[in-house]
Chain A
Amino acid sequence: MDSPFIEFRDVTKRFGSLTVLEDVSFNIHEGEVTTIIGLSGSGKSVLLKHIIGLLKPDSGVILFEGKPLGEMSRNELHKTLSQVSYMFQGNALFDSMTVYENIALPLRETTSLTETQIDKKVSARIEQTELTEAAHCYPSELSGGMQKRAALARVLVTDPKVVLFDEPTTGQDPVRKNAILSMIAQYQRKFGFTAVLVSHEIPDVYFISNRILALYQKKIVFQGSPEEFEDFDHPFQTEVIRSLEGLQHELTGMYSKRQFKLQNHIRMKRAGEGDMYAVLVHTLQEDYLTKANPGRDSHEEVLKGIEQCIAEYFTTAGGFSTRLKTHEFVTVLPYSDIAEAADLARGFVDSLKKKMNGTAAATAAENEQANTGGEFALLIGAAQGFPADEMETVIASARSRQTTTARLHCGAGR
């Protein structure tokens, strides 16, 4: 492996009697996206501020391209840190300056470029970050997402080698969060800078990160790829990741959508070209549910029961599942063909019928005499997928092949 671009060696930082970082050691490699994860207040931002020189360690060494920051001359230090830009959590835009002036500021103050040259560079960044309309607005006149883009444009205008992002998605809605992370990934590829992120957006950040650093109880307890991190056996996984992600649903054992995405992402990365998989889409038909009208609580109970059954049955068979819509679930069965998937689906229906008999619902055949509650249908469809296929396409294909595999009776008033 090539030598690290930035290296922390046994860095300790205290504020008064409070130790925030203790013997922290890690590496950041050039051209990579490294994400630091950890609980709030665990010292992630403190760590980032050491890289930019806003804070100095009480002990330990920080090396840039193998040279300790503490041993650099004033000019050398200035030159080294000039290659690093920092995007603040709150953007830190100057509210008395327009977006254009904010972006131009580092060039006007730290370079000897002419106004024409500055204008050319600033206009280019404004265009790239789609802020042309907002160039002469003040930050307070912009939306949160636009402010983030303005801050990013200011960070990138000096063509830095390293960009540090302090919780870039904080306070953004889910759509914007993904947009900001995509933007970071896109610009990182475009400009080739080394990115260091502090983020809580798990697992979304995994998709754009080459390396993960886990900060836990003042120390870096993990550094490696997102895939390696999944296999990392440490209390950090239980205490931090599960609390951040909500991991599997405690009652049903079903994966959250994010985890499902992540699980699939990891599987796809590991899969060879010929490794196929099967997808099952399970739907409780709404028509029946509406007609049956057995009561909302009863619906929920049936859905929860089925959700639990799907998770239990297919996890044992090596699959993983998530709830896509209110009445729709999807299961991925790695290394299975469509015939195996169909067999498993039949086995699942039998198991479901057995399990639900005497609980929230029973099969219609077994409850012909029942004159309360309602009947609904469970439809299951299977499709074959390959690593090159888009998951959405395979799911759509499975959906189109759905047939009614069971009619279930739901007891009223339950």
Chain B
Amino acid sequence: MSPVGMMSVPFAAVGRGAMRLVNNLGAAGIFLLLAFAGIFHPKQLTKIIQQIYYVGARSFGIIALVSLFTGMVLGLQSYHALVQFGAEGALGTLVSLTLIRELGPVLTAIMITARAGSAITAEIGIQRISEQIDALYTMRIDPLRFLVSPRIAAAIISFPLLTAIFDVVGIFGGYISGVLLMGANSASYIYRIQSNTDIGDVTDGFIKAIVFAVIVSTVSCYQGYFAHMRTDVHGAKAVGLSTTAAVVLSCVLILVADYVVTSILIGN
């Protein structure tokens, strides 16, 4: 290879990577648009309700548990930090704003990714490799509308609701550790939450939850739907790797999107 050719090797790899990324982003964007359009098909209601049950209702237990302990740890740590400055009265504000603005949407999304996102990828992936998706096509049923649209709709509905549950239970967890265990003033805790948390904070949290819902459901469905296109492995292994990829990619994108959305919301 000529010296010029050798020098171009790393750039070529970067170029290929960039092209692959752009391709995937484009494909995922089209995938999302087509699936989103399918939500409004008249035969979707039953399927959406079923998916709300699988994605949302069945995640309630784990969300409640995680949020309770997150709130308790937050209450405990914050109390110890605030008490050094004699500011333990601000405990309610700290716990509620941290949960409503940041931890609620992010941790809810990550927990649903782990519980429901992985299941979505595995289910759609198996349907793909066992030709069930091809069978839908041969029956003239749009696979995106039938499999993906209800899941995206269910995620968009479930994520904000579960985030709200996370926030409420988390605040209650903070109350248990900060007030009941450490002895902070109960009235002050509740008063600070009421006075310093406004509807804007809740709305911001919900906006994040909806953004995360779109990310998690799209990534999970996309990875499963195209499990057969993997070039490294095939069959059951492809479904396994796609599931792992869906969870990892969703978590990374949640954190990246969290920063981007926070910047935009703070800017506004």
Which positions 84-135 of chain A face chain B at CB distance < 8 Å? 84-86, 88, 90, 92-95, 105-106, 108-110
Q: B139 at the A/B interface (Cβ < 8 Å)?
A: yes
Q: Is A388 an interface residue (CB 8 A)?
A: no
A90-B131, A92-B130, A109-B146 as given contacts; A52 in contact with B139, CB under 8 Å: no
* Contacting residues, chain B, for A158 (C-beta < 8 A): 139
Tell me which residues across on chain B come within 8 A of A401, comparing CB atoms: none
- Residue ranges of A at the interface with B (Cβ–Cβ < 8 Å): 52-54, 78, 81-82, 84-86, 88, 90, 92-95, 105-106, 108-110, 154, 158
Cβ of B138 < 8 Å from any Cβ of A?
yes
Assuming the A-B contacts A88-B131, A90-B130, A92-B131, are A109 and B139 also in contact, with contact meaning beta carbons closer than 8 angstroms in the complex?
Answer: yes
Does B40 count as interface, using CB distance less than 8 angstroms? no
Q: Please report the C-alpha to C-alpha distance between residue A93 and residue B130 in the assembled complex, in whole angstroms.
A: 9
Q: Which residues of A contact B141 (CB under 8 A)?
A: 105-106, 109-110
B202 to chain A, nearest CB (A): 37
Q: Is the CB of A106 within 8 A of B140?
A: yes
Supposing A108-B43, A109-B43, A109-B146 touch, asked if A92 and B135 sit within 8 A by C-beta, the answer is yes
> Nearest-CB distance from A87 to chain B (Å)?
9
**Other CB < 8 Å A-B pairs besides A84-B138, A106-B141, A108-B43, 18 of them?**
A52-B137, A52-B138, A53-B137, A54-B138, A81-B140, A88-B131, A90-B131, A92-B131, A92-B134, A93-B132, A94-B132, A94-B135, A95-B132, A105-B139, A109-B43, A109-B141, A110-B139, A158-B139
- Residues of chain B in range 86-125 having any CB-CB distance to chain A below 8 Å: none
Knowing A108-B43, A109-B43, A109-B146, the reply to whether A88 touches B135 (Cβ < 8 A) is yes
Contact between chains at B138 and A86 (CB < 8 Å): yes
**Which residue of chain A has the shortest Cβ distance to B42 in the bound complex?**
A112
Residue of A nearest to B135 (CB): A92
Distance (whole angstroms) from the CB of B148 to the closest CB of chain A: 14
4 closest A-B pairs by CB: A92-B135, A86-B138, A106-B139, A92-B131
Partner of B140, one of A90, A92, A110: A110
Count residues of B near A (Cβ-Cβ below 8 Å): 13
A95 to B123, CA, bound (A): 11
**In the assembly, what is the distance between CA of A105 and CA of B140, in Å?**
11
Cα distance A108–B140 in the bound complex, in angstroms: 12
Residues from chain B with a CB closer than 8 A to the CB of A54 are: 134, 137-138
| Chain A: CB-nearest residue to B133 | A92
Residues of chain A within 8 A (CB-CB) of B131 are 88, 90, 92
Q: Which residue of A lies closest to B46 (CB)?
A: A108
In the complex the two chains form, is B134's CB within 8 Å of A88's CB? yes
Nearest residue (CB) in A for B123 is A96
Q: What is the minimal beta-carbon distance from A377 to any residue of chain B, in angstroms?
A: 58
B132 with A92: CB separation less than 8 A:
yes
Residues of A within 8 A of B127 (CB): 94
Residues of B within 8 A of A94 (CB): 127, 132, 135
Chain A residues within an 8 Å CB radius of B130: 90, 92, 95
Closest to B141 in A: A109
For chain B residues 1-58, which have a beta carbon within 8 Å of chain A? 43
Q: List 10 A-B contacts (CB under 8 A).
A: A52-B138, A54-B137, A78-B140, A88-B134, A94-B132, A94-B135, A108-B43, A109-B139, A110-B139, A154-B139
CA distance A86 to B137 in the complex (A): 10
The reply to whether B43 and A85 form a contact with Cβ atoms under 8 Å apart is no
How far apart sit A95 and B127, CA to CA, in the bound complex (Å)?
9
Q: Which residues of B contact A110 (CB under 8 A)?
A: 139-141
Query: How many angstroms between the C-alpha atoms of A94 and B47 in the bound complex?
Result: 15
Q: B43 contacts which chain A residues (CB < 8 A)?
A: 108-109
Cβ–Cβ < 8 Å partners of B137 in chain A: 52-54
Q: How far is the CA of A88 from the CA of B130 in the complex (A)?
A: 10
Beta-carbon nearest neighbor of A96 in chain B: B123
**Complex CA distance for A78 and B135, rounded to whole angstroms:** 15
Separation of A52 and B132 alpha carbons in the complex (Å): 15
Q: Taking CB as reference atom, which chain A residue is nearest B142?
A: A109
B130 to chain A, nearest CB (A): 7
Instruction: Give A88's nearest chain B residue, CB to CB.
Output: B131
- Chain A residues within 8 Å of B134, by CB: 54, 88, 92
Cβ of B135: which chain A residues have Cβ within 8 Å of it? Answer: 86, 88, 92-94
Which of B132, B138, B141 has the largest count of A CB atoms less than 10 A from its CB?
B138
Instruction: Identify the closest chain B residue to A109 (Cβ).
Output: B141
- Using CB atoms, name the residue of chain B closest to A110: B140
The closest CB in chain B to the CB of A53 belongs to B137
> Closest CB of chain A to B44's CB: distance in Å?
10
User: B130-175: which have CB < 8 Å to A?
Assistant: 130-132, 134-135, 137-141, 146
CA distance A158 to B139 in the complex (A): 9
A168 CB to nearest B CB, Å: 14
Inter-chain CA distance A92–B127, complex, in Å, is 9
Residue of A nearest to B43 (CB): A109
- Chain B residues contacting A109 (CB-CB under 8 Å) are 43, 139, 141, 146
**C-alpha spacing A349/B139, complex, angstroms:** 63
In the assembled complex, the CB of A118 is this many whole angstroms from the nearest CB of chain B, namely 12
The CA of A108 and the CA of B42, in the complex, are separated in Å by 12
CA distance A105 to B132 in the complex (A): 12
Identity of the chain A residue whose Cβ is nearest the Cβ of B137 in the assembled complex = A54
A108 and B132 alpha carbons, distance in the complex (Å): 17
Which residues of chain B are within 8 angstroms of A95 by Cβ–Cβ distance? Answer: 130, 132
| Distance from A302 Cβ to chain B, minimum over Cβ atoms (Å) | 51
Closest to B138 in A: A86
Residues in B whose Cβ lies below 8 Å from that of A86: 135, 138
The minimal Cβ–Cβ distance linking A101 to chain B, given in whole angstroms, is 12
**Alpha-carbon distance between A84 and B130 when the two chains are bound, in angstroms:** 20
Q: In the complex, what residues of B have CB within 8 A of residue A105's CB?
A: 139, 141
Please name all residues of chain B whose beta carbon is closer than 8 Å to the beta carbon of A108 when the two chains form the complex.
Answer: 43
Closest to B47 in A: A109
Task: Give the shortest distance, in Å, between A368 (CB) and chain B (any CB).
Answer: 70
Q: For A90, what are the chain B residues with a Cβ–Cβ distance below 8 Å?
A: 130-131
